[in-house]
Amino acid sequence: MTPFRLEILTPDGVFFSGETDNIVVRTTVGDKGILARHEPYVAALTIGKFKVRIDGEFRFGAISSGIIKVDRDKTVILADSCEWAEEIDLDRAVRAKELAEQKLEEFEKADNDRGVAVAEYKLKRAINRIEAYKLRK
């Protein structure tokens, strides 16, 4: 397959920069696959898993919200945070999940809508990371 350039940027630096021939990401309107010579396209990403094919093999990872921008010559993903499946710290993710569940319950009792929203977001992120961890090679 024809390769094209992919850059994954996060506020902490360049996460990935190199060649790929197939990307699948989760946008707000569903999963989206990108191949070479895709039309120019921009979409918002939600918390989800992503995969990119590098040298014929898929690599998996977790992304928490961002933007994908496909240009004729390259694709840029702007992510709030991004991790390869193999790099995920499972213990931390599990702890974050438990903490978020506990917080969620507290906030629900206290009728704190804002708190519930934040806790739900954190819970989703933790679950996403745990699931992505299972995809590691």
Partner 1 sequence: MKDIKRRIRSVGSTKQITKAMELVSSSKLRRAKQRAELARPYFEAQYTLLSEIASSKKDFSTVYTEERPVKRRLFIVIAGDRGLAAGYNSNILKAAVAAHAGDAVNPKIIAIGKKAVEYFEKRDYELVGSYPYLAENVKTAHCADIARAATEMFSAGEVDEVVLFYTAFVSALVQNPEQIKLLPVSGIGAGMGEDNGLINYDPSPEVVFNRIVPKFIMSLIKCGVVESYASEQGARRTAMESATDNADQMIADLSLIYNRARQEKITNEINEIVSGANAL
Give me the residues that bind partner 1 (CB under 8 A), please: 7, 9-14, 27-29, 32, 39-44, 65, 67, 69, 76, 78, 80-81
Nearer to partner 1, 7 or 131 (CB): 7
Secondary structure of the chain as H, E, C letters: CCCEEEEEEECCEEEEEEEECEEEEEECCEEEEECCCCCCEEEEECCEEEEEEECCEEEEEEEEEEEEEECCCEEEEEEEEEEEHHHCCHHHHHHHHHHHHHHHHHHHHCCCHHHHHHHHHHHHHHHHHHHHHHCCC
Nearer to partner 1, 28 or 102 (CB): 28
Q: What's the closest the beta carbon of residue 29 comes to partner 1, in angstroms?
A: 6
Q: What's the closest the beta carbon of residue 62 comes to partner 1, in angstroms?
A: 16
Q: What's the closest the beta carbon of residue 108 comes to partner 1, in angstroms?
A: 21
Q: What's the closest the beta carbon of residue 137 comes to partner 1, in angstroms?
A: 28
Nearer to partner 1, 41 or 134 (CB): 41
